[in-house]
Structure 1
Amino acid sequence: MESYASSSARPDRAEPCPRSAVSHGVGLAGLAGLALWTVLAWRYGMDGPHAGIFASVVACGVPMLLWSLLVDRVHRRPSTGIDWSGPRRSAREGFDISVVKLAGLWATWGAIALFYGTARWYWDGGYSYAMQLFGWAVVPLLLASIPYVIWLDRYLIEPRDGAYAFGQWVIGGAAGKPPEGAIGDHLRAWGVKAFFLAFMLSITPANFANVIGWRTGDPLAGPVELANFLITILFMIDVSFATIGYMLTCKPLDAHIRSANPHMAGWIAALICYPPFVLMGNGGPLDYHRGTAEWDMWFAGNAAMLWIWGGLLVLLTAVYAWATVAFGLRFSNLTHRGIITHGPYRWTRHPAYLSKNLFWWLSVMPFLSTTGNWVDVVRNCTLLGITSAIYYWRARTEEQHLSEDPDYRAYHAWMERRGVVTRALAALTRWSGRGSPAAHPERG
């Protein structure tokens, strides 16, 4: 990223941007379904947690699933690892493989359940509702996994995946010794799903209820109210798409996890940005809010600045939400599920991180203090600067992971050649005389 590289506003048609793993239509289909359900829920006052989950799983997820299968026909892509021309192995051979795989899959789910039951934070606040959902889903998932795995294993070109390797380890004996590294890959992938899906399910209902709670005239009361309303909607969109992304990691949709980040630095950089490890939250060691006020207080009485500043914050949040929508069914931290090159990823390799950090600087405005104490200003700017640096570090670890894929290297190289920001940073480096203008190639 040479921090955050972006492509030119009018890319050279002689060198088109590498093809994205997801089409524009997938995200648009999800947005249409989510918008329809949100309007109905608002009309009839359905702001409960079930309505919020329905928004993500059904209203947003089903249209994307149908578009992916019927229009993009993703199930036919070679990257799925599936050959639909006919069963590649007999029912007996496939069944023998499936038994081992189911043992590994169920053992994984059992370990996740133990983790949820042991970690106390999963039984407080919004997490308690997520745990209820998992409790209701246990039996249906166990029953559905049997025919699904048996059916799919007959068509997979190589069915002996991470779940199979873990099943070998669980069963032992005649099952054989799993390939080196396969179990670690499997556990990392499921660790990502377990950690982040519980988090997304815990915040989805509240985000949806925040939108439904607005009344017709509220957003029209002024620039602050309108900006807050639009930002609330955009955060709901982001959360809804992210939730369904963690759910549908399956091969027939070509949305499976190719690999989970194997670098410890990547995991540390990501986990400290989320509960319960988050460092930037209220009272945390990197809490940069002390002695600050929101942007609307500083511009109170200046209508022009309220409109301008509010518009900037809405724009940044829109880019942030767009970055998630662009993933379609594939959003996920710490994983490689196909290279995204369309939408805001055509302009910058890390649009979410860039827009999120700019939003924090402009909304919190740590360079101003309600106490009038310059020490608070220095402290808050330093802490938010460290927070932004963490996101830079996080982006670099993600690029280190994805650089193993030649498709990402091609995308990275294209962005380096066509990136306005990258060229500007290179020029700045030459001007400062502090180093070479070359970018340092190394996302999730």
Structure 2
Amino acid sequence: MNVEDQPDRVEHAGPRPASDVSSGVGLAGLLGMFAWLAICRNWPGIADAFGLPGPREPLAGPYSSLATLLFTAVPMVAWSILVDKVHRRASTGIDWDRPRAAPATLDISITKLAGLWATWAIIGFLYCVARWYWRDQYLFAMEVIGAAAVPLFLLSVPYVVWLDRRLVDPRDGAWHFGAMLVGREPYDIEAVKAHFRSWAVKGFFTAFMISILPIGWINLVNLDLASIPFEPVRLSWALIELLFVIDVQIAMVGYLLTMKPLDAQIRSANPFLGGWVAALICYPPFILMGDGGPLNYHPNTSDWAYWLQGHDMVLWAWGALLVFLTAIYAWATVIFGIRFSNLTYRGVITNGPYRFTRHPAYLSKNLFWWCATMPFFATSGSLVDVVRNTTILAMVSAVYFWRAKTEEAHLLSEDPKYREYHAWMAENAVITRGLSKAMRAFRPRGPQLQPAE
């Protein structure tokens, strides 16, 4: 769990630092997504009304879930450019008013394209040799990525040439990797490493996110609202599934739109090995929490509906709590707008649920697991199962505490604005301040070791 601690208390009574992303970006994306969801659910009637060819059934297939990205992303990009005018920010590294002539940057662009295409080739090779990408849900991701490869390759040429003319410093990580391959110009090996960290994030998580797009979408489009009785368990799970679909769709847009003209580029990926280990063990194929994994806390457990059955008022309250926690989790993604991504720094988010805690997604997710699973009960009646499952879920929460700390260490090292936000939260945010006090209360208060002189 992402309990937050501030080792060095910094007085910060001023206003909360402004967020790099406005709330309107995510809300625009939600409106677009719900508009497409309404179209998909009512497609038979729409097709009949306009005399359109094709099947007369809801659009619930995997490519319908993929099309949701377009309906979600376009309003978010429009808001970012037309309202927030993110393309004019200095952090984009773009000077729109003084573009260079194309010949002046053509050599740079060619070198950069060499580095970019080589990077994509490496990622493609890893997709080919990693067996988990060719079974189960990943087959859809590989189909989509394979279909997008040639258009992406072709479009990268005019995009890179166009953008390099306007970049203040077009020699980015892709250029340094290209220079290393070409061998004609000096390059910075640290820039190459940073480039690979960023693309490792994109390569790994983009495939994973595409693979899970259809899972909740088909259920959401086909959901028969009239068949859901006014009872707490089914209604709660339907709302929870809707919120998870929102989370996945908004997050997927974030992974795709890592573009400098939108000020959504990856400025740096987490440089700490511990941060990568803590994150990757939470996702397949490295996940440790799945069936048979060492952090699987589900054996001989059931869920909240099993333990609370027969107590309708408690079921309503508990279901509402779980929906609330999932809503916080989804909100923590939506507020990122087009900048969501694991293991990366793409700006500082200080609004939405990040006003109350620095890690609302981790906090709400872990509380959800504790409340939904109730590991302190066992269907076997065994005290051993109770102790084991409760301890293992506590270890899972500790993994997320670890993730939170490595992410904070990354951002604290990158941006003075995040350091200001970090200090402000320690003094002013209700949840952060309370958890910090609780952590300090459990610290040993013995004598401190002093450095030798």
TM range (shorter): over 0.9
Does residue 412 (structure 1) correspond to residue 422 (structure 2)? The answer is yes
Residue aligning to 1:103: 114
- Which residues of 2 match residues 24-39 of structure 1 at below 5 A? 24-39=23-38
| Aligned-residue RMSD, C-alpha | 1.7
Q: Report whether the alignment pairs 1:81 with 2:93.
A: yes
Aligned residue type for 1:102 = L
Match of 2:288 in 1: 279
**Which of 335, 345, 353 lines up with 1:336 in the alignment?**
345
Is the Cα contact below 8 Å between 2:176 and 2:189 reproduced in 1?
Answer: no
- Partner residue, 2:385: 376
Among 219, 242, 251, the residue aligned to 2:260: 251
The one-letter code sitting in structure 1 at the alignment partner of 2:404 is A
Partners of 2:161 and 2:354 in 1: CA distance: 38
Structure-to-structure mapping, 1:8-87, within 5 angstroms: 15-44=14-43, 45-55=58-68, 57-87=69-99
Q: Quick one: which of 150, 171, 180 aligns to 1:160?
A: 171
- Shift in CA distance, 305/82, structure 1 to aligned 2, threshold 3 Å: same
Please list, as runs of the form range in 1=range in 2, the aligned pairs for 1:209-224 lying within 5 A after superposition.
209-224=218-233
- The one-letter code matched in structure 1 to 2:343 is L
Mapping of residues 192-207 of structure 1, within 5 Å = 192-207=201-216
CA displacement at 1:430 relative to structure 2: 6.1
Distance in 1 between residues matched to 2:5 and 2:353, nearest whole Å: 11
For the 8 Å contact 1:162–1:182, the answer to whether it is kept is yes
Contact 1:2-1:425 within 8 A present in 2 as well: no
CA 1:137–1:390: 2 relative to 1, 3 Å: same
Q: Please, which moves more after superposition, 125-134 or 267-276?
A: 125-134
Residues 209-259 of structure 1: CA deviation (Å, up to 9, x unaligned)? 121121022333411111001000000000001111100001000000000
Query: Following the alignment from structure 1 to structure 2, what is the Cα–Cα distance between the partners of residues 202 and 67?
Result: 28
2 CA distance for matches of 1:429 and 1:325? Answer: 29
SS in 2 for 1:339: coil
Cα distance in 2 between the residues matched to 1:133 and 1:221: 39
Equivalent residues in 2 for 1:320-335, closer than 5 Å: 320-335=329-344
Match of 1:390 in 2: 399
Q: Where does the alignment leave 5 or more consecutive residues of structure 2 unmatched?
A: 7-11, 44-57, 447-453
Whether the 8 Å CA contact 2:375–2:390 is kept in 1: the answer is yes
Q: Does 1:346 align with 2:359?
A: no
- Structure-2 separation of matches of 1:433 and 1:144: 56
* 1:403 aligned counterpart, secondary structure: helix
Answer yes or no: is 1:122 the counterpart of 2:133: yes
Structure 1 segments unaligned to the other structure (5+ residues): 7-12, 437-444
In 2: Cα distance, 1:409 partner to 1:429 partner: 20
1:425 Cα deviation from its structure 2 partner: 3.9
Give me the TM-score of the superposition, normalised by structure 1. Answer: 0.93
Residues in 2 aligned to 1:432 and 1:177: alpha-carbon distance in whole angstroms: 52
Question: C-alpha distance in 2, partners of 1:422/1:169?
Answer: 45
Q: Which moved more, 1:207-216 or 1:381-390?
A: 207-216
SS at match of 1:217: helix
Structure 1 residue aligned with 2:182, among 167, 171, 174?
171
Q: Determine if contact 1:52/1:208 at 8 Å carries over to the other structure.
A: yes
**Equivalent residue, structure 1, for 2:52:** none
Give the C-alpha shift of residue 2 in structure 1. Answer: 8.1
**Equivalent residue of 1:22, what SS?**
coil
> Residue 237 of structure 2 aligns with which residue?
228
How far has the Cα of 1:139 moved from its partner? 1.1
Q: Deviations over 1:255-309 (max 9, x none)?
A: 0000000110000000000000000012211110000001101111110011000
Partner residue of 1:151 out of 162, 167, 174 = 162
For each residue in 1:147-201, what CA deviation from the matched residue of structure 2 results, as whole angstroms up to 9, or x when unmatched? 00000000000000000000011111x2x12113010000000000000000000
Given residue 412 of structure 1, which amino acid in structure 2 is its aligned partner?
Answer: H
2:302 is the counterpart of 1:303: no
Q: 1:426: Cα distance to partner? A: 4.8
Query: Would you identify which runs of 4 or more consecutive aligned residues in structure 1 move more than 6 Å?
Result: none
Q: Which residue of 2 aligns with 1:239?
A: 248
Residues 235 and 367 of structure 1, relative CA distance in 2, 3 Å threshold: same
Aligned counterparts of 1:431 and 1:70: Cα–Cα separation in 2: 48
Contact 2:308 2:314 in 1 (8 A): yes
Is 1:312 matched with 2:325? no
* Cα-to-partner distance string for 1:333-390 (whole Å, 9 max, x where unaligned): 0000000001000111000000000000000000000000000000000110000000
TM-score by length of 2: 0.91
Other structure's SS at 1:256 match: coil
- Counterpart contact for 2:426–2:436, Cα < 8 Å: no
Aligned positions, number: 426
Answer whether contact 1:207 1:239 (CA < 8 A) is retained. no
Letter of the structure 1 residue corresponding to residue 134 of structure 2: W
**Given the superposition, is the C-alpha separation of residues 249 and 420 from structure 1 closer, same or farther in structure 2, using an over 3 Å criterion?**
same
Shift in alpha-carbon separation, 1:431–1:134, aligned structure 2, 3 A: closer
